[in-house]
Chains A and B, each alone.
Chain A
Amino acid sequence: MTAPTAPSVSAPSTAVAAAGTTTASPAPTRTSGAVGTPHTRLEGRLKVTGAARYAGEVPFAELAHGWLVTSTVARGRIRSIEAEPVLAMPGVLTVLHHENAPRLTPGVGMMGPDATLQVLQDDRVPHVGWPVALVVAETLEQAREAAEALVVAYDAEPHDAVFHAGHPGMYTPEPSRYVLPDSDKGDVEAELGASAVVVDEEYTTPQEYHSAMEPHAAVARWENGRLEAIDSNQGSHAVAQDLAKLFSLDAASVRVRSEHVGGAFGSKGTIRPHLLLAVMATTVLDRPVRVVLTRRQMFSLVGSRPATAQRVRLGADSDGRLRALDHEARTFSSTVHEYVEQSTRHSRIMYAADALRTRTKVVRLDVPTPAFMRAPGWAPGSFAVESAMDELAEKAGMDPIALRSRNEPEAGPVSGLPFSSRNLIACFDEGARRFGWTDRDPRPRARRDGRWLLGTGMAAAAHSAGTAPSTASITAGADGAFTVRIAAADIGTGARTALTQIAADALGAPPERVRVKIADSDFGPAFLAGGSMGTASWAWAITEAAAALGEKLALVDQIPAEGITARADTSELVSGRQPRESNAFGAQFAEVSVDVASGEVRVRRMLGIFAVGRVVNPLTARSQLVGGMTMGLSMALHEEGIRDTASGGLANADLAGYHVAANADVPVIEAGWVDDPDTYNPSGIKGLGEIGIVGVAAAIANAVWHATGVRHRDLPIRLDRVLTAGTAIENGGAVTH
């Protein structure tokens, strides 16, 4: 059995050699200024030359290949699986299904008991695309052909797979760590009644999919009594922990690595079925097994952003001061597991209002289980609230920025907690200056370029800036180099590079002498690359480890051959902080052109200005923000999962049918940031992986209104919707094609 040949990232050997071999006297309190300096990705060359191996590419001797078979009915039971004919096909090694698959421990889940992990455990089919069998064969082609030949019979039951706001099954979910309680401050009805200007509208967002470039993939094998897996995920340690629990293994006997990950956006944040199935198969066959999901399978097995239907009511005095903000968000989850999209998060921190009311309701449908997707809650919630604020500005005859600025809260509107920092106004000012907002004519339908009507719009953005406990270790080598070990993940963001810069400054060493090893569960607990919390959480642990190492090094004259290692665990530091309302903020601007005769909408330019704390690597930070804004453009104009009522399946479960923005859709996008000092996390980092998408859809929808005079309250702003609405002035105005 050969070892995997995944390359690791290492500092240039010349730099290490030049550093000498005997004594090193690092001064970990000194910074070397790496943070804040643009740095290309350390693994960039490996990636662009194809040398970086992803989970589905790592070669193994004796590798067997699993191909997943998924359900074709939306609700029911498996009546029979005819495995015998398939087992006789060339190369087929086994067919795993609910009657013969290894048993899993129930009740396991990173965020509470998660029944989506209980694959091949019973005959229940909860939605189209649920795993019903894994066919394993000598080659990928044999596995695939056999999987396609496998006959599965079902006893189908009537299904209910279509979400709508008026669904009778709506209920209020129980508050938990992941479900915010409904909030009530003041008397919304009374304040609305006393308001000079009122907006009361409904907004909808469709089901959206992460659509990471790299499909979910895993290889698993048993090696010297240890279960080893190479997996595509956002947090190797948490995945290894859940894997151990599910298979009733000692945690120390499971190792998960995820050296390179090709995008995730939340879909790889928790353990996913491809890894469980690979582990089942390697356990049964005692040889390495790889399982890679197809694109179509990704549409049913790795989560989605669920659709939302949101009613927003705003009431204000004639000068724009908010009296009432009422936000009711409805969404869905599956019958398997309750995931609740927290669309009211935006309204809970954004504006001061005398009365503030939020409600969340959810209905369980016979559909795949939704999940966190880039800026969960924030992205759909900001579309509704920031669209409504634009409508309020129009009704009040106010500039949209002035309206927002007037309603800046002193403290968290719901929590009452002080903000750790809040530099939203600075984002407005800088954004307005760079975008040229101050010269804007507020009237709609007033600009034209040939067949295109032109308009501009803006929206505010926010995202929570959290920190979670993590551990890290740093070893000072006898050669003068440092090796950092932390179970962080680089999902394409540049995390490995950013952590190298952070460690270099913490150690007072040039980045060339610092090697950061990540994505290995053996490195100990670390938060996942998610929630915009990864870099901030990891940075704190690395900084603490560097300080501890400095103390150790101060006591020795010479570093022994095995090096000197220091560890840090930030659990107590993180939990010992005073509670704060800690968020990143931003201002989004967009200019669009609309041809109402064809329904085409094109974004001409976008600008986002953000307050995201300390920026570690301006190069990759900009990429993250521009990437988020691009995803927001895609959310505004393109992305929409379309459920087929009759079958309960998705009618467009591939990237030909599920459109994400193409290069031609993406115009000049500029992203920048303002000074945002904040030491709530001592690294000063707030995280910026998600805020780029927040508010973009509203900014674009507001710009489409400015161009055409028509409000589009349903995403995406499809050409048929634009064409049908034309330039109709609301309340029965004439259509003027």
Chain B
Amino acid sequence: MREFGYKRATDVPEAVALLATDPEARFLGGGTNLVDLMKTGVESPALLVDVRGLPLDRIEVADDGALKIGATVTNSDLAADPEVRRRYPALTEAVLAGASGQLRNMATVGGNLLQRTRCGYFGDTAQPCNKRVPGSGCPALAGEHHNHAILDWSEHCVATHPSDMGVALAAFDAVVSIHTADGPAELPLSEFYLPVGDTPHRENALPPGALITGVTLPAAPVAARSRYRKVRERASFAFANGSIAAALDVEDGTVRDVRLAFGAVASRPWRARKAERALTGGPATAEAFAAAADAELAAAEPLAHNGYKVPLIRNLVVAMLTELTQEAAR
């Protein structure tokens, strides 16, 4: 493990300035992913700029009703926040579906968005990996990929994004607030993650040296009836094989508004806009739900060992939208 410098920032401009002092510097949030990667040699920063002390640990309601979540809010605090629980219950459920209590007490919102894939080849420095060493190859394509992507992957990388929280944020049109040397800026989550293409090592659209300062969730009445469900290989403490965040507004058997996002299917949280379009204004029936899922999953290109994710996601869509419909009727 390489020796590294450690500096603690007290305000946002200082954090950004400190990071700029070393091209191999990284921000340190909860450290629940970065420190692990440093131990295994996947990451070897020269300098860590600790941003945990920044005044970004608040969750506030803006004048327009949007919920503004600071980047250093811990997962535990986010999940427990009364506004989040009331207005975006799927977000609480998603956060609580991830990691363990100890990790959630450490992990931060900003870090969660930036966590790296859990592809085993990425984590094993003895193996090639285009994400870790560009141009070295992707052994997952012909190797172990039973929990890899089925949507929008490329011949260069078939890894998934591991976040649960991000799936709920994607469903609710989150906007990421950032700060660069030029000052504050905003980036919709839908544009935050870059397509895999031939640059799987470039995962997001953050400008160089930018710090995530928070996430804003626009007011969305439909989100008040929302759920997150995660299917994984054990009952706790495992990443998803497939997950779904869903919100549904049904009136007289017709879908008025719907939000759907999938996890563990692509290199980013997957907003299922095709399925949403297919459902909106149509009947809230199991057949319609299945047809909408099929519309979204028509683009799926499973590999030899992850084809089960197609029926898994389809079944989750039908089961969850059916549940939400039944709840609305009560």
Chain A positions within 8 Å of B, measured between CB atoms, are 72, 128, 141, 144-145, 148, 296, 451, 597-600, 602, 637-638, 642, 644-647, 649, 651-654, 656-657, 659, 661-665, 718-720, 723-724, 737
Q: Which of A145, A451, A638, A653 contacts B234 (CB 8 A)?
A: A638
Chain B: CB-nearest residue to A140:
B1
Q: Are B236 and A663 in contact (CB under 8 A)?
A: yes
Q: From B73-81, B136-144, B205-213, give the one contacting chain A.
A: B136-144
Q: Is A723 within 8 A of B311, CB to CB?
A: yes
Q: In the bound complex, how far is the Cα of B97 from the Cα of A662, in angstroms?
A: 14
Pick 21 A–B contacts, CB within 8 A, sort by A. A145-B2, A148-B41, A296-B124, A598-B231, A598-B312, A598-B319, A638-B234, A644-B144, A645-B142, A649-B126, A651-B120, A651-B143, A659-B234, A661-B234, A662-B234, A662-B235, A662-B238, A663-B236, A719-B231, A719-B312, A737-B311
The digit string for B117-142, where 1 denotes a CB below 8 A from any CB of A, is 01011011011000000000001001
Q: Please judge, given known A-B contacts A141-B1, A644-B139, A652-B144, whether A662 and B315 are in contact too, CB under 8 Å.
A: no
In contact, B311 and A646 (Cβ under 8 angstroms): no
B1 touches A662 (CB 8 A): no
What separation, in Å, do the CA atoms of A54 and B124 have in the docked complex? 28
Contact of B231 among A599, A654, A662 (CB under 8 A): A599
B143–A662 contact, CB under 8 A? no
Tell me if B233 and A719 are in contact (CB < 8 A): yes
Contact B308 A720 (CB under 8 A): yes
Please determine whether A451 and B319 come into contact, CB atoms closer than 8 angstroms: yes
| CB atoms of A665 and B126 under 8 A apart | no
Contact at B127–A647, with CB atoms within 8 Å? yes
A720/B146 in contact, CB under 8 A: yes
In the bound assembly, the distance between CA atoms of A597 and B123 in angstroms comes to: 31
Q: Is the CB of A657 within 8 A of B234?
A: no
B54-73 with Cβ < 8 A to chain A: none
A654 to B124, CA, bound (A): 10
Q: How far is the CB of B144 from chain A (nearest CB, A)?
A: 4
How far is A720 from B150 in the complex, measured between Cα atoms in Å? 14
Q: Which 8 A-B pairs have the closest CB atoms?
A: A664-B236, A651-B144, A664-B235, A720-B308, A597-B315, A72-B126, A662-B236, A665-B235
Please state if A646 and B143 are interface contacts (CB–CB under 8 Å). yes
Residues of B at under 8 Å CB distance from A? 1-3, 40-41, 118, 120-121, 123-124, 126-127, 139, 142-144, 146, 231-238, 241-242, 308, 311-312, 315-316, 318-319
Closest CB in chain A relative to B162 CB, distance in Å:
10
Mostly helix, strand, loop or mixed at chain B's interface?
Answer: loop
CB contacts (< 8 Å) of A657 on chain B: these are 118, 120, 123
**Minimal beta-carbon separation of A140 from chain B (angstroms):** 9
Q: Contacts A451-B319, A662-B234 known; list 19 others, CB within 8 Å.
A: A72-B126, A141-B1, A148-B1, A598-B231, A598-B312, A645-B142, A646-B143, A651-B120, A653-B120, A654-B123, A656-B123, A657-B120, A657-B123, A659-B234, A659-B238, A719-B233, A719-B308, A723-B315, A737-B315
Across the interface, name the chain B residue whose C-beta is closest to A128: B126
Partner of A598, one of B121, B139, B234, B315: B315
Complex Cα distance, B101 from A364, in Å, reads: 44
A664 and B234: CB pair below 8 A? yes
Q: Are B231 and A718 in contact (CB under 8 A)?
A: no
- Interfacial chain A residues near B144, Cβ < 8 Å: 642, 644, 651-652
Q: Which residue of B lies closest to A720 (CB)?
A: B308
Determine the chain B residues whose CB is within 8 A of the CB of A649 once the complex forms: 124, 126-127
- Within the complex, the shortest CB–CB distance from B161 to chain A, in Å, comes to 16
Q: How far is the CA of A652 from the CA of B235 in the complex (A)?
A: 19
Please state if A720 and B241 are interface contacts (CB–CB under 8 Å): yes
A649–B311 Cα distance when bound, in Å, is 31
Contact of B241 among A638, A661, A719 (CB under 8 A): A719
Instruction: List B contacts of A659 (CB < 8 A).
Output: 233-234, 238
Determine the distance from Cα of A649 to Cα of B123 in the docked complex, in whole angstroms. 13
CB distance from A147 to the nearest CB of B (A): 10
Chain B residues within an 8 Å CB radius of A145: 1-3
* Complex contact B139–A647 (CB within 8 A): yes
Instruction: Kindly list chain A residues whose C-beta atoms are within 8 Å of the C-beta of B40.
Output: 296
From known contacts A600-B231, A720-B241, infer whether A645 and B315 are also in contact, taking CB-CB under 8 Å.
no
Which one of A602, A638, A645, A724 lies within 8 Å of B233 (CB-CB)? A638
Given A599-B231, A642-B144: A662 in contact with B237 (beta carbons within 8 A): yes
**How far does the alpha carbon of A597 sit from the alpha carbon of B121 in the complex, in Å?**
30
Q: How far is the CB of B67 from chain A (nearest CB, A)?
A: 29
Instruction: Known A644-B143, A647-B127, A649-B124; judge A665-B236 contact (CB<8 A).
Output: yes
Shortest beta-carbon distance from B107 to chain A in Å: 15
Chain A proximity of B63: nearest CB distance (Å): 41
Query: Which residue of B is nearest A141, CB measured?
Result: B1
Contacts of A645 in B (CB 8 A): 142-143
Cα A410 to Cα B78 with chains together (Å): 65
B124 and A653 within 8 A (CB) = yes
| CB-defined contacts of B233 to chain A, threshold 8 Å | 638, 659, 718-719
Residues in A whose Cβ lies below 8 Å from that of B142: 645-646
Q: How far is the CA of A719 from the CA of B2 in the complex (A)?
A: 40
- What residues of chain A lie closer than 8 Å to B146, measured between beta carbons? 720
Residues of A within 8 A of B123 (CB): 654, 656-657
Partner of A724, one of B234, B242, B308: B308
A633 to chain B minimum Cβ distance, whole angstroms, is: 10
CB distance from B73 to the nearest CB of A (A): 25
The complex places the Cα of A651 from the Cα of B41 at a distance, in Å, of: 17
**Smallest Cβ-Cβ distance to B140: which chain A residue:** A651
Q: How far is the CA of A718 from the CA of B120 in the complex (A)?
A: 18
Distance between A71 CB and nearest chain B CB, rounded to angstroms: 9
Name which of B120, B123, B308, B318 has the most chain A CB atoms within 10 A of its CB. B120
One of A642, A646, A652 near B139 (C-beta < 8 A): A646
Which A residues lie within 8 Å of B231 (CB)?
598-600, 719
CB distance from A432 to the nearest CB of B (A): 28
CB-CB under 8 A from A652, the residues of chain B are 120, 144
- In angstroms, Cα B142 to Cα A657, docked, is 18
Q: How far is the CB of B289 from chain A (nearest CB, A)?
A: 12
Most chain A CB inside 10 Å of its own CB: which residue of B3, B118, B146, B241 = B241
Shortest distance from the beta carbon of B233 to any chain A beta carbon, whole Å? 5
- Within the complex, the shortest CB–CB distance from B302 to chain A, in Å, comes to 11
Decide: A656 near B118, CB < 8 A? Known: A649-B124, A719-B241.
Answer: yes
Q: Which chain A positions have C-beta within 8 A of B236?
A: 662-665
Q: Which of A637, A657, A659, A664 has the most CB of B within 10 A?
A: A657
Q: How far is the CA of A719 from the CA of B3 in the complex (A)?
A: 42
Contact B234 A665 (CB under 8 A): yes
With both beta carbons as reference points, the residue of chain B lying nearest to A643 in the complex is identified as B144
| A-side contacts of B308, CB under 8 Å | 599, 719-720, 723-724
